[in-house]
């Protein structure tokens, strides 16, 4: 019988990060595995929390210190401080070893319950008295502006961090899988091996079947009849676990996410960050959390590294999957194609809507209109009641009426408080969450030659023996001032390789690269936000970065740049590590636009930015008259740049052409047969190095 070609230890709940080789030593790392309870084990009861005053943050209760005998004065204080530090370090290490604590419990028939949740970060309240009931099989889009608490709430649901008050309860029958924005690390496994590594029931059944086969084939088998019965039972479980069609399921996911068959045997640590994220997503989708009825899938910006074809496939997969899914995303096509309900974070509350994202936008307008009308009617009624109570409460003949009206006033004001958040809605048309008007202005490009960047007879890649790209027909590539160029081609064709070669971070294998006089390059990469110093304040980083070019830059200018992207007041003084993924991207962008550049190279700049921030960036680029070169799979973003030229990258060649408009076909590509060109080149390089090592 045909068995699958790899077996791995079952882990019922995973964080979607490609595990590193070190994770196999001494147990799983915190960022790789969450220990979920099976449905047969007793549920973990969420820790009970005393109700505190709303708006106040709670702190974790620290273990009590034992009184040291004979201690006192400064010596006792110093000793106590040392003990407290040691206890804190032990507690931190224990938390890392134990991993995230999923809030399993009795969800009263729901898959997930949120009860009066209060959530804050530093001195900023994100949610107050937030309530939601998510039923099994529902597909929820969790939407709102950047920094409103979407990713933070998702972390709380996944057990990665705790809330300040209230309860989050996940049904103890569920397997939970969590996909983070930054969940990428290397792995020595192949793409195929990683993708099927969390198909826990299948892997366990396959291991048992192999062992049963070994026993049957052993010469020392004492009872062949019993061994044959065990073998048949194991094969029945293998079939029930989907063993006979596992290859088909794995192929469907890897194909849908854009992996060519050749890439299946690539080692994950040879892949780019974007392709590693795809591996992590594939592994999660194939796990029990991603593909079974008793799964709860938590996805934080899953489309950041996907092209249009893969986004459509993912939306269809989620919609058809029997599991329950909560998605944080600014990708409207995913929210429209996958979601059955929308949960909006606005005015520090959760607002529930039935239908996809487009229907949510329509229904919200109507709901707010009705709420405002009802609120105004109640406000008028409350004013009349207050007036009556004030005038007649001291009148003996009407004291009883005044008392009755006073009680009615309390009820009316209670109803008004319920409507207040909805009636006071402040949002931008076509966007989720609270309104945040962003207006970005780029530094004026300094003077330069007309021709700013040229390449002749260029051959690009890591090794001459396995080049990734070359100029079609050896034609010269020339970038001039006021040119606006977008790069088109399938994922893995070498678009980012071309940008790196233009930026000078990847030397040419052949040909020449020439910069014009007085050219200043600016590069905004899709991973720039992840490279920020997490221990620095947002404003501190922006000022330090901008003052490299302009030492006289004033603090107010740094604040204005951050404020234009919605990061103002106390938020500008928060550590970068405490910000959400979208906020980090805005900090990187705020620093980027303050640096005077006359050539901008943009590598998937819209990946980690919400709709408002992308709109602010494109608006800021409208009147900027330097040279622009952008790699993006986002058709709307590319169109808004008003490109004058396009670079087409396919079949190992690139060529620049005039642009007369963009079509849907420009963004819908067949994946190259050879797979990811950069990863292929890295694999060949690794194979050659291994051959050299063996020969030596």
Backbone angles phi, psi at 273, to 5 degrees: -60, -40
Count of alpha carbons within 13 angstroms of residue 262, beta-carbon side: 13
Please, what is the average pLDDT of the chain? 79
In the numeric block, which tokens belong to residue 495?
């678009």
CA 343 – CA 5 distance, rounded (Å): 42
Question: In this model, does residue 285 exceed pLDDT 90?
Answer: yes
Q: Are residues 384 and 331 in the same domain?
A: no
Q: For residue 433, what pLDDT is reported?
A: 63
Q: For residue 56, what pLDDT is reported?
A: 41
Q: Are residues 659 and 632 in the same domain?
A: yes
Distances (CA, A) of 157 to 41, 109, 167, 298, 584: 20, 17, 10, 8, 22
Q: Are residues 339 and 375 in the same domain?
A: no
Q: For residue 167, what pLDDT is reported?
A: 95
Residue 564 lies in a domain: no
Q: Please write the tens of the pLDDT for every residue from 230-269.
A: 889 999 999 998 888 999 999 999 999 989 888 899 888 8
Residue 637 lies in a domain: yes
Question: In this model, does residue 49 exceed pLDDT 70?
Answer: no
Assign residue 178 the CATH number of its domain.
Answer: 3.40.50.300
The strand pairing partners of 515, in sequence order, are: 453
Residue 529 lies in a domain: no
Give the structural domain span for 404: 358-423
Q: For residue 627, what pLDDT is reported?
A: 93
Report helix, strand or coil for 143.
strand
- How many domains, in total, are found in the chain? 3
- More confident of the two residues 123 and 10: 123
Q: Are residues 455 and 319 in the same domain?
A: no
- Contact (Cβ atoms closer than 8 angstroms) between residue 628 and residue 478: no
Question: Which one of 347, 381, 406 terminates a domain?
Answer: 347
Q: Are residues 201 and 228 in the same domain?
A: yes
Mean of pLDDT values over 404-417? 89
Residue 695 lies in a domain: no
Q: Are residues 215 and 283 in the same domain?
A: yes
Residue 90 lies in a domain: no
Question: In this model, does residue 47 exceed pLDDT 50?
Answer: no
Q: Are residues 286 and 407 in the same domain?
A: no
Residue 416 lies in a domain: yes
Question: Which one of 326, 347, 368 terminates a domain?
Answer: 347
Q: Which of 100, 120, 131, 130 is nearest to 58 (CA)?
A: 120
Q: Please write the tens of the pLDDT for every residue from 184-239.
A: 456 788 999 999 999 988 999 999 999 888 888 877 766 778 888 888 999 999 99
Mean of pLDDT values over 478-488? 92
CA 205 – CA 10 distance, rounded (Å): 10
Q: Are residues 115 and 193 in the same domain?
A: yes
Q: Are residues 369 and 321 in the same domain?
A: no
DSSP letters spanning 665-677: GGG--PPPTT--H
Mean of pLDDT values over 610-622? 81
Q: Which of 581, 565, 568 is nearest to 616 (CA)?
A: 565
CA 29 – CA 20 distance, rounded (Å): 9
Q: Please write the tens of the pLDDT for every residue from 336-348.
A: 999 999 999 988 8
CA 651 – CA 489 distance, rounded (Å): 10
CA 174 – CA 682 distance, rounded (Å): 40
CB atoms within 10 A of CB 479: 22
Residue 230 lies in a domain: yes
Least confident stretch, 39-53, 215-229, 244-258, 625-639:
39-53
Residue 52 lies in a domain: no
CA 355 – CA 340 distance, rounded (Å): 5
Q: Are residues 337 and 379 in the same domain?
A: no
Question: In this model, does residue 148 exceed pLDDT 80?
Answer: yes
Q: Are residues 164 and 247 in the same domain?
A: yes
Mean of pLDDT values over 375-397? 87
In the numeric block, which tokens belong to residue 167?
């309860």
User: Is 57 buried (19+), middle (13-18) or exposed (0-12) by CB count in 10 A?
Assistant: middle
Q: Are residues 29 and 174 in the same domain?
A: yes
- Contact (Cβ atoms closer than 8 angstroms) between residue 94 and residue 145: no
* Confidence band for 21, pLDDT divided at 50, 70 and 90: very low
Question: Which one of 296, 319, 347 terminates a domain?
Answer: 347
CA 561 – CA 541 distance, rounded (Å): 12
pTM of the model: 0.71
CA 374 – CA 265 distance, rounded (Å): 62
């Amino acid at each position: 019988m045909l068995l699958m070609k790899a077996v791995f230890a079952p882990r019922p709940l995973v964080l979607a990060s490609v595990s590193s080789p070190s994770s196999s030593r001494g147990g799983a790392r915190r960022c790789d595995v969450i220990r979920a309870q099976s449905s047969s084990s007793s549920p973990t009861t969420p820790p009970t929390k005393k109700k505190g005053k709303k708006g106040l943050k709670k702190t974790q209760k620290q273990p009590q210190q034992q009184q040291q005998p004979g201690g006192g004065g400064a010596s006792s204080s110093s000793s106590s401080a040392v003990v407290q530090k040691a206890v804190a370090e032990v507690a931190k290490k224990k938390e890392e070893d134990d991993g995230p604590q999923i809030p399993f419990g009795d969800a009263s028939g729901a898959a997930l319950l949120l009860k009066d949740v209060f959530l804050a970060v530093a001195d900023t309240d994100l949610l107050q008295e937030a309530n939601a009931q998510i039923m099994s099989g529902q597909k929820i889009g969790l939407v709102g502006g950047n920094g409103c608490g979407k990713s933070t709430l998702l972390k709380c649901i996944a057990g990665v961090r705790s809330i300040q008050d209230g309860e989050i309860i996940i049904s103890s029958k569920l397997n939970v899988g969590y996909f983070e924005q930054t969940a990428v690390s290397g792995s020595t496994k192949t793409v195929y091996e990683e993708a099927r590594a969390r198909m826990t029931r299948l892997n366990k059944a396959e291991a048992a079947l192999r062992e049963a086969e070994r026993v049957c084939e052993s010469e020392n088998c004492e009872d062949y009849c019993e061994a044959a019965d065990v073998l048949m039972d194991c094969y029945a479980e293998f079939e029930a676990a989907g063993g006979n069609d596992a290859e088909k399921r794995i192929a469907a996911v890897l194909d849908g996410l854009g992996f060519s068959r050749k890439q299946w045997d690539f080692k994950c640590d040879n892949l780019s960050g974007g392709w590693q994220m795809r591996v992590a997503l594939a592994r999660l989708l194939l796990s029990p959390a991603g593909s079974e009825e008793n799964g709860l899938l938590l996805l934080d910006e899953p489309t950041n590294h996907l092209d249009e074809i893969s986004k459509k496939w993912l939306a269809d997969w989620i919609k058809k999957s029997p599991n329950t899914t909560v998605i944080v995303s600014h990708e409207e096509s995913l929210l429209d194609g996958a979601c059955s309900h929308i949960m909006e974070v606005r005015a520090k509350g959760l607002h529930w809507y039935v239908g996809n994202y487009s229907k949510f936008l329509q229904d919200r307008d109507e709901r707010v209109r009705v709420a405002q009308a009802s609120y105004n009617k109640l406000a008028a009624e409350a004013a009349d009641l207050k007036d009556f109570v004030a005038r007649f409460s001291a009148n003996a003949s009407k004291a009883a009426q005044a008392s009755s009206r006073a009680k009615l006033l309390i009820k009316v004001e209670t109803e008004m408080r319920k409507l207040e958040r909805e009636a006071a809605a402040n949002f931008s048309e076509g966007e989720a969450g609270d309104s945040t008007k962003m207006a970005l202005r780029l530094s004026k490009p300094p003077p330069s030659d007309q021709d700013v960047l040229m390449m002749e007879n260029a051959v690009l890649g890591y090794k001459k023996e396995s080049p990734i790209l070359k100029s079609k027909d050896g034609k010269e590539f020339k970038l001039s001032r006021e040119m606006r160029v977008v790069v088109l081609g399938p994922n893995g064709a070498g678009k980012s390789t071309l940008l790196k070669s233009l930026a000078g971070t990847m030397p040419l294998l052949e040909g020449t690269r020439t910069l014009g006089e007085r050219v200043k390059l600016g590069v905004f990469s899709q991973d720039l936000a992840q490279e920020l110093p997490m221990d620095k304040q947002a404003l501190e980083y922006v000022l330090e970065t901008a003052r490299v070019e302009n030492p006289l830059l004033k603090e107010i200018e740094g604040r204005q740049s951050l404020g234009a992207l919605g990061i103002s007041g106390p938020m500008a003084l928060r550590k970068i590590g405490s910000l959400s993924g979208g906020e980090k991207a805005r900090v990187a962008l705020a620093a980027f636009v303050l640096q005077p550049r006359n050539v901008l190279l943009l590598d998937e700049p819209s990946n980690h930015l919400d709709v408002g921030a992308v709109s602010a960036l494109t608006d800021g680029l409208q009147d900027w008259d330097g040279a622009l070169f952008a790699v993006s799979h986002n058709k709307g973003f590319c169109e808004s740049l008003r490109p004058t030229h396009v670079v087409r990258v396919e079949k190992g060649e690139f060529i620049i052409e005039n642009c007369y408009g963009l079509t849907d076909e420009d963004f819908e590509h067949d994946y190259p047969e050879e797979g990811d060109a950069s990863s292929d080149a890295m694999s060949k390089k690794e194979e050659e190095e291994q051959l050299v090592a063996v020969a030596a």
